[in-house]
Structure 1
């Protein structure tokens, strides 16, 4: 359930972002700028994870999203037990300090979901114990249950360009 929520939040289910209707795809310099921004985004996330006391994430391209894979990065961060919402709140506080806005944070029955945004990026963080048959990574299904955080970071402008290209 957490994995499905992350894939939908992180990639917009393939729909373009409504804030820029009719936008035409661009290439070249804007993509180079996005690559630079990607490094900054990952640095922000690493700082947030450290503030929460979590291990450093190792990001991979999200292979499950086909054409949208260049726009989405995912990471798994194992924890010994279900992540403590207080630790996740410290992660969120550091991200807010770095200019991210929190759009959602809820916890219920050992599960939690945090969503943040820093235009054009979105970050979704889910925490829980996830059954091996509920989570698929770019490398395939997990060999065992997973406890920790699932991160999905998406460049919404990249998603919009890809969607526009696929529709044309």
Structure 2
């Protein structure tokens, strides 16, 4: 039986993932880099994050992901990228550990990795991005499926990537100044 925490993590990831199969267009930064910005290590772009995720998944023996942007995120749509990877059985912890090792090799920092009741959660960061990978089976009654989608359990990985700098810019544009 899944714990409430595990179900909540996986349900949130499924809700964020949407149902599209296409890859989103890479967003170009709206600002021209300044001399001081050029001296800093380059921040990861959406395209670089997608490449890292593909490589990490391949290292873990997983199939290619289905990347989506969920329009329900409103003004944050450009800041959040999600992906799903179906698997025949609950993802193996060792496969997820190989995924994490490849991500670390690519400059990501692991902040959490836990497994509980057949579910797993891996969290990583790479400025300005955070990446949360959840794995396991989510029962159909715990899913928020889009209208018209057949109800069925989902087994696999759910990936949620967020560009924190983008989210900060969106929030700054929405915050009233006094």
* Pairwise TM-score range, normalised by the shorter structure: 0.7 to 0.9
Q: Which has the larger radius of gyration?
A: 2
Q: How big is the shift at 1:37?
A: 1.5
Contact 1:133–1:141 (8 Å) recurs in 2: no
Native 8 Å contact 2:44 2:129 kept in 1: no
Q: Which runs of 5+ in 1 are unaligned?
A: 8-25
Change (3 A) 1:140 1:113: farther
TM superposition score normalised by structure 1? 0.78
Q: What TM-score do you get using the length of structure 2 for normalisation?
A: 0.74
Q: Which runs of 4+ in 1 moved over 4 A?
A: 4-7, 139-142
Cα deviation, 1:78-99, whole Å, max 9, x if unaligned, reads 0001000100000000000000
Partner Cα distance (2:148, 2:161) in 1: 20
Provide the residue aligned with 2:22 in structure 1: none
Partner of 2:172: 164
Q: Which has the higher helix share?
A: 1
1:54 equivalent to 2:62? Answer: yes
Q: Which has the higher contact order (CA 8 A, sep 6+)?
A: 1
Aligned residues: 149
**1:3 is aligned to 2:10:** yes
Separation in structure 1 between the aligned mates of residue 85 and residue 46 of structure 2, nearest angstrom? 19
Relative to structure 1, the CA distance from residue 141 to residue 41 in structure 2 (aligned partners, 3 Å threshold; closer, same or farther) is farther
Counterpart of 1:91?
99
Alignment-derived partner of residue 112 in structure 2:
104
Unpaired runs of 5+ residues, structure 2, are 1-7, 15-28, 34-41
1:117 matched to which residue of 2? 125
Q: Cα distance 1:36–1:90, how it changes in 2: closer, same or farther (>3 A)?
A: closer
